Structure 1
Amino acid sequence: MLRAPPGHSTLNRTQTNFGKRCTLRSALRMLGLHLLERIWLMDKRLGVTALTLALASLCALAQAQDAPIAVPAAAIQAETSDVRDMDTVVVTGVQPGPGLWRVRRGENTLYILGTQSPLPKAISWRSDEVREVLADAGVVLGPPGVSIGSDIGMFRGLTMLPAAMRASRNPDGATLEELLPVEVYQRWSVLKARYIGRDRGIERKRPAIAVYELYRAALDANGLREGRVISPVLDEVLKARGMTLTPTMLKVKVDDPRAALADFRKEGLKPEDVSCMRDTLDVIERGLPQVAARANAWAVGDLDVLRATAGQGSQVRACMSALLQSEAARKRGLDGLEAQVRAHWLAAADDALAKHRVSFATLSIDDLLGTAGYLAALRPRVDTVLAPDEADVVEDEDAARSGAATP
C-alpha cells in the first residue's frame, strides 16, 4: 500500500493550515495525485490540468509538506517479464548543475536556472553560483503556472473532500483490467508486480494517475527522484534575507467547484488515457536509460546532451493531452490557458528587468533550450540572452580592464 509520511494530509494539518493561499500544487498534494503534481513541476508551461480544475474545491484546504509519498520497491517480479533495470550509471556526490542563463536589458540582468526532473537521488547540488545571485537579487520569481481558487469555506471544503478523493478513481468502481486493452493491461501488470507489488487500490485509479505512480516507483528503484533539489536552496536563502518568492502564477477562479467535481467524476476512459498509459509504460520498459542520461547531464552541467534531448518526454505530453480533454474543463473555458499563463510570466519578467539590477527565476530546462518556450518568447523583449556556456563579452572586457589597471 502507498503510505504517506507522518502527519501528511491529516485532518489536524488541514485545519491548522486552512486559509493559506491555495495553489494547484497544494490541491494535488492533498489528494496524493503525484502524476499531476510532478507533471506540473516538470512542465509548468502547459498550464492547468483538467483533473485539478475539477478538483478546485480543494483549494480551500491546506498546503501540504514537500515530502513525497513513499512508494516501496516491489520484491515481486513476474517470471514472464523481460524488463530489466537500466544499466546506465547514475551520478552521485556533489554536482554543479547546468549554470545560469543571463537575460540582459540595459544594465539589468535576470538570471534563470533551468530545472529538470527527475534527477539522480544521491547527488548534492553545488549551488554557489545561484546563492551569489540570490544574495544580490531584488526579486526572485516563482515558476509559471495557474493558481486555482474558489470562495468556499472551511466546512464546505471538508465535506467535499471524500467526493474529491473519489474523483481520482474510475467511474462506477471500474478497474484498470476492465477498462484497458488486454495488451496494455498485461504490460501494466508485469511492471506493477515488479515495482509496486500487491496494491489493489491502485487498480481502481484513473489510468494516468496509476501509471505515474508506477513511473515514480520505477525511478526510485533506478536511483532517480523528482523534486527536492532546488527549492530547499531557494527557501533557505530567501528566509535568511527576509524575502519571499514573488508568485508568477495566473489566478483563476472556479465559481462552482462542486459542479466541476461532479462533472469530472462522470467522465470515463478516453483514447488519450490509453495513449498516456502506453507511452509511460514504454518509458518504464525501455526508456529509463535515456531518462537517467538526461538527469546526469543536468547534474554535471552537460548542455550538449541537454540540447540534444530537449523536448523528450512524449509520455508527459500524452498524459497532459488526456487530462486536458476533460469536458469539465471545456465547459468552464479552462482548457486554453497556456497562452495566458505564458503572458502572465512574461509580464512578471518584464517588470523584474525594468525595476531590478539583479533578479532571479526558474524555468523548465526545455523552456530555455527549445525554440518555442518561454525564453524564446522573451528574446525579442530584451537586449541579450546568454546560455551558461556562452561568454559574456561585457563582463570579460570589464575584467580585462580591471586587470590591466592593477599595478
Structure 2
Amino acid sequence: MEPSTTSDASLETIVVTGEQPGPGLWKVSKGGHVMWVLGTLSPLPKRMEWRTAEIERRIGESQEVLLGPRVKMEANVGFFGRLALLPSLVGIRDNPGDAKLVEVLPTPLYERWRVLKQRYIGRSNKVEQWRPIFAARELYESAIRHAGLVEKPLITDAVRAAASEAGIPLTPVLLEVGIDAPKAALKDFKKAELDDQECFRLTLERVDTDLARMAERANAWSTGDLAALRALPHVDEMGPCRAAITKLALMRERGLDDIEARLRGAWLDAATNALARDATSFALLPMHLVVDTDGYLEELRRRGYTVVAPDEDAVASSAPP
C-alpha cells in the first residue's frame, strides 16, 4: 500500500454552523400505538446548533423515552466497558514488550501511518509504542477535530434534557455483561496478541479517503437531508476493531464474543415492549441501524410493524398484511 497522497485541500468539506433542523423522525406503529425514532449520528459539526422543537413536542407526548443501545459492564470490570470505546489506557494500550509500531506493522502500512500521523497528530511520539488498535483511534479522533467535527453526546444530551423538562421517564437499553475474575482477564489482555492490523488499516483508509464524506454525512444529518444520508455509505471502521477484541480467547471464554447480536436483541425487545405498553413512545437509535436494509427498523417491519420514514408516504411504507 502506498503512503497517503491525499491533500488537506481535497478534504475540505465545509461543515454547517448555526441552527439546523436535524433529520425528521421515523414512525413505527401497530395497533394504534406509535414510536417516534430519531436516528443519531457521530461525529457532528462542532458549531452546529440543533433546532429541537419537534423533538421536544414528540417527547412531551410520549409515555417513555428509549435511550440508544449500549453495553453495561459490572462496576468491578469497568475496564472492559471503557475498552469497548477504545480509549487510551495506560498499562494495556502499549504493545507487548514495548515494541514500536514500526516493528509490528508492514512497511507500506507504517509509511501510510507516518504521513497521516504527521498531518493530524504532529510530532508527538507517544503513540508509537501503542497497539495499532489504540493508535488508530487516536489518529481518528485527531482527524475529525481537524475537520471541524466532534464526537460528543449532543443528541442524547438534548433528548435527556427534553425528557427531564417534560417529566417523561428514560428507559436505558442495556446489555448487562459480567466477567468473573476481572484482574485475571486484564492480565490476559495485556499479554494477548491482537489481530488488529485490519482495524488499523481500515481506520487509516477512512481517515485518508473518507474524512470529507464524514463531513458530508454530518451536514446531511444536520440539515435533514435523508436522501444524502441514504446515498452516503456507512463505514464502520470500528467493526474490525471490535472484532479484533471479541475474537480473543479471553473474550470467548467469558461469553463476550456475540455482543453485537445480543445488543440487537436487547433493543428489539425493549422497542416491542414499549410499543405494546405505551400509546406513544420515543426512541434513539444510531442512524445506520435506522436506514440499513438489515437494520433494526427493517426487522420491526418484518415483524409486522408499519415503518414510515420522514420523507416517505405512509401507504407506500406500510407493512405487508
Q: Given the two structures, how large is their TM-score scaled by the length of structure 2?
A: 0.87
Q: Which has the higher contact order (CA 8 A, sep 6+)?
A: 2
Contact map agreement 2:6 2:209 (CA 8 A) in 1? no
Letter in 1 for 2:238: V
Matches within 5 A, 1:239-254: 239-254=164-179
What per-residue deviation string (whole Å, max 9, x for no partner) do you get for residues 63-97 of structure 1? Answer: xxxxxxxxxxxxxxxxx965324132222221111
Q: Work out which of the residue numbers 190, 195, 203 in structure 1 matches 2:115.
A: 190
The Cα of 1:151 is off from its aligned counterpart by 5.4
> In 2, Cα distance between the equivalents of 1:170 and 1:332?
23
Report the number of matched residues: 301
Residue equivalent to 1:24 = none
2:261 aligned partner: 339
| Contact 2:136/2:203, CA 8 A, preserved across alignment | yes
1:389 aligns with 2:314: no
2:201 is equivalent to residue 278 of structure 1: yes
Select the residue among 217, 225, 247 that pairs with 2:142: 217
Tell me the amino acid that sits aligned with residue 352 of structure 1.
A
Matches within 5 A, 1:290-329: 290-310=213-233, 312-329=234-251
Q: How far apart in 2 are the matches of 1:197 and 1:269?
A: 26
1:332, 1:152 → 2: CA distance?
Answer: 12
Counterpart residue identity of residue 96, structure 1: P
Give the match for residue 260 of structure 1: 185
Q: State the alpha-carbon separation in 1 of the partners of residues 77 and 247 from structure 2.
A: 26
- Equivalent residue for 1:49? none
Matches within 5 A, 1:41-56: none
Separation of aligned partners in 2, 1:218 and 1:361 = 30
Greater gyration radius: 1
Task: Calculate the TM-score normalised by the size of structure 1.
Answer: 0.70
C-alpha distance in 1 between matches for 2:169 and 2:276: 19
Partners of 1:287 and 1:306 in 2: CA distance = 14
Task: Give the superposition deviation at 1:213.
Answer: 1.3
- Please tell me whether the aligned partners of residues 114 and 363 of structure 1 are also in contact (alpha carbons under 8 angstroms): yes
Partner residue of 1:378?
300
Corresponding residue of 2:130 = 205
Do the aligned residues in 2 keep the contact of 1:248 with 1:348 (CA within 8 Å)? yes
Q: Choose between structure 1 and 2: higher strand proportion.
A: 2
Supply the distance in 2 between the matched residues of 1:287 and 1:140 (Cα, whole angstroms).
Answer: 33
Contact 2:62–2:168 (8 Å) recurs in 1 = no
1:352 is displaced (CA, Å) by 0.7
**CA RMSD of superposed structures (Å):** 2.1
1:37-186 superposed matches below 5 A? 83-85=7-9, 86-149=11-74, 165-186=90-111
Q: 1:141 aligns to what SS in structure 2?
A: strand
1:36 match: none
Alignment of 1:287 onto 2:210: yes
2:33 alignment partner AA: N
CA distance in 1, matches of 2:156, 2:292: 23
Q: Determine if contact 1:150/1:254 at 8 Å carries over to the other structure.
A: no
Misfit runs of 4+, over 6 Å = none
> Aligned equivalents of 1:278 and 1:151: distance in 2?
33
